[in-house]
Structure 1
Amino acid sequence: MVPGVRSWWARRSLRLRLTAAAAVGIAAGLVSAAVLLVAWLHASLIGGLDQTALERAQLVASDQISDRITAEVPATDHGEVAVQVVDGKGAVRSSSPNLRGKPRAFTFPASRSDTPHARTVHDVPVGEGGTWRAVGVPAGTRHTPLTVYVAVPTEGVDHSLDQLVVGLATGVPAVVALLTGVVWLLTGRALRPVDAMRAQTAEISASDLSRRVDVPSAGDALGRLAATFNDLLARLDTATRRQRRFVADAAHELRSPLTTVRTRLEIAARHPGSTDAQHLATGLLHETERLTRLVDDLLGLAQLDARPRLRARPVDLDEIVFAEVRDVRRRTRLLVDQHAVGAARVTGDADALSRVVRNLLDNALRHAATRVDVSLRTDDGTARLVVADDGPGIPEADRERVFGRFTRLDDARARDTGGSGLGLAIVRDAVMAHHGSTRVEDNRPGARLVVLLPTEPP
């Protein structure tokens, strides 16, 4: 198809394209059927003429005994049947009344098979000539060989076929037009639910994703399409609500340190003599670090929500754990035990996995009373990373909720220690991106946060 025509065709309505395709298919089917019908009927009628000629020739041959040859073959009831009996020298010994006195009209040799095949001949000197179907069969005796030729005109067959072709040439287009109209109506009726879905979808706005399209009662493809579209709307609605809640929570979290910074700066500006510069700088630095951690967490979640391609490569998870533990020990006086860390090699993004371990350790440090225990081992193709603390623990009812965004079980204490409520949410999203899982277990006392990751195939 020419590109311009293809482009024009693609811009047509689905109803028009379906109807046109159906019309082409119907026309091709009916034309093919008409051609086959004409060909079959022609072969059948010609076969009937051939059988008539053969039977007449066999009848005449059985009567042509050399001592009873007459100059004229008796007429038959088969219309203008042309008969000639020719001897071995090519002389006409007998003929039908319509060939009386005429020269030899058939020159092809007689067939010696049990089922002689008819031939199409022209210019038989009977009437206006035309086309004939002729057979030749041997007759006579060994001493007086003869050939009996019988020809039957095809004029009647040709006339009947011409009438049939004219009728089909008139009827087929009419039937095609009628069926095309029916297809147009049926296609419009079949696509009516699609138009209804389109109209309902056009009324759904980004600010109101709670609406749904009507699902047709029939469990057909359109019903499945409507159900799938409603599922998509539900997922979009959930994602939009989550995004709005995330933005609102992020704005609230950012407002608190910004308000603190602004308040301290306003006090310093209005009462310059009453503010210790060192104390002010320390407070502002603390709030700035809090803002930096919060912005880093927000960026990390945004990257995970965008589902970027992780730089998947073989990673020694134990080396990441050792590096993060060394960094933590420089920032805390609590005991961080890593003796249970064994070798574990996984496939994933080293930066994302480092963030997972760092957030787990930071969470444990904020709640631990005296120590944090870290362990890592592999079992049946799974790396099991555990970070445990001896703090107050996590109630069983909240063990799933802690992985939510901006979730704090002790809100005031978490704010004081710099927690944003995003650390464990980042852990879960990053682990899920690596096809792993997270859960909370009881440490008695304290809590055990468990991360399961698939190991690299050997």
Structure 2
Amino acid sequence: MGTGARFWWARRSLRHRLTAAAALVIAAGLTSAAVLLVVWLHVSLIHGLDTTALQRAEVVAADANAAQAGTEIPATDHGDVAVQIVDRDGTVIASSGNLRGRPRAFSFPASRSSTPHAHTVHDIPVGENGAWRAVGVPAGSAGHPLTVYVAVPTEGIDQGLARLTAGLAAGTPAVVALLTAVVWQLTGHALRPVEAMRAQTAEITTSDLSRRLDVPPTADALARLARTLNDLLARLDTATRRQRRFIADAAHELRSPLSSLHTRLDVSARHARSPEAQALAASLLRDSERLIRLVDDLLQLARLDDQPRIRTRPVDLDEIVFTEVREARRRTPHPIDQHAVGAARVQGDADALARVVRNLLDNAVRYARSRVTVSLHTEDGIARLVVADDGPGIPEADRERVFERFTRLDEARSRDTGGSGLGLAIVYEVVTAHHGRALIEGNHLGARLVVLLPAQEP
């Protein structure tokens, strides 16, 4: 098997490979059985012909020994049996009616053993000159030895075996196809628990490791595999919960000292006596603000990871957008265009959705050169929120990666602008928990972040 064939075979499903292997084995087995059947029948039937010819030859030889054989040997019930009695000179002294007047048709010598060996002969001038099974036995006296030849045609056997062979040649592929279909169904039934386990495993996410696989009610390898995977999920769930609890506890414990530090730095910046001290306090104040935002984002992600199923209620997304745009205008000198914001109602958590809009606006404001544009509308049951800026944009190769946690791009948008690297990750997690999608579309200038959420009828 070549490399290409092995690669093709390896890419087939387990069900296809098992069925193909079973089909090959079935085809080989049935073909071998058919060949053995034909060979066995041929040998058996030929042996029957040999026995018939020998018995007839012994009868004729007994008549010849009793000097009862005439020039023509009477016919028997065995069909076109050819009989000749030949003397030592090869002269035909008697024959069956179908060989009357014919020259000697047999050239092999008589067998002197107790079980004469039969010969396959041709060119006997009877019928269509087909194959015959012939035996020769000695007869007569010592002074006048004779040889009795009896031949039985194999035409009937040959025709019967030909019909049987044709039937097997036509029927074997049909039987192979039928058995292959049965194997296909059986393997599908046998692998159905595996497919069910695969589907259940695919539905388990890192946000919810409490789910378990259904254990088949059997005591086989599949049941043991399901129990082993459930044990693995339990260990992963325990480790993940411990990690999330640590992050949440650490973030919660850091908030108080960071808030206190921020307050003291703010006071120090306001009452600094020298320009150097005032600049240092202002720099430290900015760093503390970044630390506070980072801790808040970590705490938010920990909560999302720990409680992926959030409480929902009808929410007017357009009101959230207007509120967050007003707050964002206080943090940036760039204009924020909201004229394309229309009414949209969704089912969700108002605080979490407000965090989504806030993070999108913070991201756009952080990288915009001159303006930010916000649009919202509902189409075909989907609320489409778009926040675009005219900044350096996001390369197409990185548009999936920006939603990962602590992602830093190599382009202009990776410059140190005060972000924690978790804003878009929070957007992605919240939108996913609301059964929506967050994506980045191509934009002529800058970045265009899009959030799609299932809309609710007004």
TM-score tier, shorter chain, comes to 0.5 to 0.7
Letter matched to residue 107 of structure 2: T
| Alpha-carbon distance change, 203 to 88 in structure 1, aligned in 2, over 3 angstroms | same
Q: TM-score, normalised by structure 2?
A: 0.54
**Partner Cα separation in structure 2 for residue 263 and residue 40 of structure 1:** 102
- Structure 2 distance, partners of 1:40, 1:145, is 38
Cα contact 1:66–1:144 (8 A) shared by 2: no
Q: Structure 2: which 5+ runs fail to align? A: 274-458
How many equivalent pairs are there? 273
- Residues 143-198 of structure 1, C-alpha deviations (whole Å, 9 max, x = no match): 11111111000000011111111111121111112222222222222222222212
Residue 77 (structure 1) shift: 0.9
- Answer yes or no: is the 8 Å Cα contact 1:42–1:161 preserved in 2: yes
**Stretch deviating more after TM superposition (197-206 or 257-266):** 257-266
Asked whether the equivalents of residues 60 and 69 of structure 2 are also in contact (C-alpha less than 8 Å), the reply is no
Q: By how many angstroms is 1:218 displaced? A: 2.2
Q: How does 1:44-83 map to 2 (within 5 A)?
A: 44-65=44-65, 67-83=67-83
What's the CA shift for 1:261? 10
Question: 1:229 Cα shift?
Answer: 1.4
Query: Once the two structures are superposed, what CA deviation does each residue of 1:108-157 show, in whole Å capped at 9, x if it has no partner?
Result: 11111111121111111112110001111111111111111110000000
Task: Give 1:90 shift.
Answer: 1.5
Q: Which residue of 2 aligns with 1:175?
A: 175
Any residues of structure 2 matched to 1:171-320 within 5 Å, and which? 171-245=171-245
Give the match for residue 11 of structure 2. Answer: 11
**Aligned-residue offset at 1:55:** 0.4
How far apart are 1:246 and its partner, in Å? 5.2
The DSSP-based 3-state class of the residue aligned with 1:151 is strand
Measured against aligned partners, the alpha-carbon deviations of 1:329-363 in whole angstroms (never above 9, x if no partner) come to xxxxxxxxxxxxxxxxxxxxxxxxxxxxxxxxxxx
CA contact (8 A) 2:61 2:137 kept: yes
Q: Deviations over 1:51-109 (max 9, x none)?
A: 00010011111111285442111211110001111111211121111111111111111
Kindly provide the amino acid, as one letter, of the partner of residue 174 in structure 1. A
- 1:219 corresponds to which letter in structure 2? A
Q: Deviations 1:307-343 (Å, cap 9, x if unpaired)?
A: xxxxxxxxxxxxxxxxxxxxxxxxxxxxxxxxxxxxx
**In structure 2, do the counterparts of structure 1 residues 250 and 145 end up closer, same or farther at CA, with 3 Å as the change threshold?**
farther
Q: How does 1:65-214 map to 2 (within 5 A)?
A: 65=65, 67-214=67-214
- Residue pairs, 1:400-415, within 5 angstroms: none
Change in 2 beyond 3 A, CA 1:258/1:27: same
Secondary structure of residue in 2 paired with 1:211 = coil
| Contact 1:131 1:153 survives alignment (8 Å) | yes
Residue in 2 aligned with 1:335? none
Judged with a 3 Å threshold, the aligned counterparts in structure 2 of structure 1 residues 185 and 68 are, in CA distance, closer, same or farther, namely closer
Conserved in 2, the CA contact under 8 Å of 1:69 and 1:93? no
Residue 248 of structure 1: CA displacement?
5.7
Q: 1:108 to 1:254 in 2, by over 3 A?
A: farther
Task: Give CA-to-partner distance per residue, 1:380-432, whole Å, 9 cap, x none.
Answer: xxxxxxxxxxxxxxxxxxxxxxxxxxxxxxxxxxxxxxxxxxxxxxxxxxxxx
Q: What is the CA distance between 1:215 and its match in structure 2?
A: 1.1
TM-score normalized by the length of structure 1: 0.54
- Secondary structure, counterpart of 1:94 in structure 2: strand
Paired residues for 1:308-347 under 5 Å: none
CA distance 1:261–1:142, shift in 2 (3 Å): farther
- The 3-state SS of whatever aligns with 1:137 is strand
* Range that drifts further, 244-253 or 117-126: 244-253
Secondary structure of 1:115 counterpart: coil
Cα distance change on mapping 1:109 and 1:254 into 2, 3 Å: farther
**Cα separation, 2, equivalents of 1:232 and 1:151:** 80
| Number of the residue aligned with 1:456 | none
CA distance in 2, matches of 1:159, 1:56: 23
Deviations 1:203-243 (A, max 9, x none): 10012111111111122222222112111211222232344
Match of 2:195, SS state, is: helix
Q: What is the alpha-carbon distance in structure 2 between the residues aligned to residue 147 and residue 261 of structure 1?
A: 130
Deviation at 1:257, TM superposition (A): 10
How far, CA to CA, are the matches of 1:69 and 1:200 in structure 2? 91
Amino acid across the alignment from 1:139: A
User: Which residue does the alignment assign to 1:27?
Assistant: 27
In the alignment, structure 1 segments of 5+ residues that lack a partner are 274-458
Sequence identity, in percent?
72
Q: Are the counterparts in 2 of residues 45 and 157 from structure 1 also a CA contact under 8 Å?
A: yes
| Alpha-carbon displacement from aligned partner over 1:23-60 (angstroms, at most 9, x marks no partner) | 22221121111111111111111111010001001111
Q: Is the 8 A contact 1:132 1:153 kept in 2?
A: yes
- Contact 1:19–1:187 (CA<8 Å) still a contact in 2? yes
Instruction: Work out whether residues 66 and 141 of structure 1, in 8 Å CA contact, stay in contact via their aligned partners in 2.
Output: no
Provide the C-alpha distance between the structure 1 equivalents of 2:51 and 2:169, rounded to a whole number of angstroms: 30
C-alpha change, 1:134 and 1:254, in structure 2 (3 Å) is farther
Q: Distance in 2 between matches of 1:32 and 1:236?
A: 53
**Correspondences of 1:316-395 after superposition (within 5 Å):** none
Letter in 1 for 2:85: V
User: Does structure 2 retain, via aligned residues, the 8 Å contact 1:82–1:150?
Assistant: yes
